[in-house]
Amino acid sequence: MRVIVVKDPQTMGKRAADLIQEVMESKPHFVLGLATGSTPMPLYKELIRRHKDEKLDFSTVITFNLDEYVGLKPTHDQSYRYFMNKHLFDHININKKCTHVPCGIGDDLEAECLMYEEMIEDVGGVDYQVLGIGSNGHIGFNEPGTSLASRTHVTQLTESTIKDNSRMFAKVQDVPTQAVTMGIGTVLDAERVVLVANGANKTKAIKAALEGPITAMCPASALQLHPGVTYVITEDCAKGLTIAVER
Ligand code: F6R
């Protein structure tokens, strides 16, 4: 496990972009797994900058997002499809048909989940998966207690995630209570993973994920089983870690 500690979120974005770009430029049909939320924003800003200033080419890149709220249409301003268009896809030369976000509306979400898994498999799997982490240790919307072998599924959001995410909504009652998420098993199938984190509210989850037991009670701890994971985290998040880190 590589842990890179950086001084601020901007540097976090740059270091994560370096990791992704290196593999992206070595693969003709690079498959990128994406996360939403506040943490990856500096990374997406940096990828957009590299596209604009350095001609970083996304024309053959395929993307799969980790998750989507149940019940929000792609046009809803809090849907993760809307977020991705606004914060990344609208600013780079990616073919939108090659960008995938789980479907959170419809009568048969179980079938949608199966289809999502098949689509990932059909393109040969994810080459680089971007992850954030919840203050409760969740990855994607795999909340504590989710099976470490889980695949894409519909999940119930915990009170703490609803509270954390309510900052994006007018009121807490507006936050959907369910989501579709890639499973922990799906995430572990990616060739490489970069987990980004900043802010003191993530310190406890980072310590548990990196140094605690591998347990479904801290979903990110499952990443200890994966040989290709890099954490890029800010100083405040790294407080109290005893494992070796790079700076
Ligand atoms: C969202 C996702 C979540 C977030 C996590 C942290 O697609 O996968 O696991 O990464 O909730 O969110 P932020 O970055 O907003 O603190």
Residue nearest to atom 8 of ligand 1 (CA): 140
Pocket probe for ligand 1: among 66, 84, 143, the residue whose CB has the most ligand atoms within 8 Å is 66
Per the CB < 8 A criterion, the answer to whether 113 and 101 are in contact is no
- Summarised one tens digit per residue, pLDDT across range 199-228 is 999 999 999 999 999 999 999 999 999 999
β-strands 178-181, 153-156 pairing: antiparallel
Is position 132 within any domain?
yes
Domain extent, residue 197, equals 2-237
Is position 233 within any domain?
yes
Across the beta sheet with 178-181, what order do the strands follow?
67-69, 178-181, 153-156
State the total domains in the chain.
Answer: 1
Is position 65 within any domain?
yes
Is position 6 within any domain?
yes
We report the CATH number of the domain holding residue 8 as: 3.40.50.1360
Is position 142 within any domain?
yes
Is position 103 within any domain?
yes
- Summarised one tens digit per residue, pLDDT across range 230-239 is 999 999 999 9
- Summarised one tens digit per residue, pLDDT across range 15-52 is 999 999 999 999 989 999 999 999 999 999 999 999 99
pTM over 0.85: yes
Amino acid in position 36: T
Confidence tier at 166 by pLDDT (50, 70, 90): very high
Ligand 1 binding pocket, CB closer than 6 Å: 35-39, 66-67, 132-134, 138-140
Is position 94 within any domain?
yes
Is position 247 within any domain?
no
User: How many angstroms separate the alpha carbon of residue 72 from the centre of ligand 1?
Assistant: 17
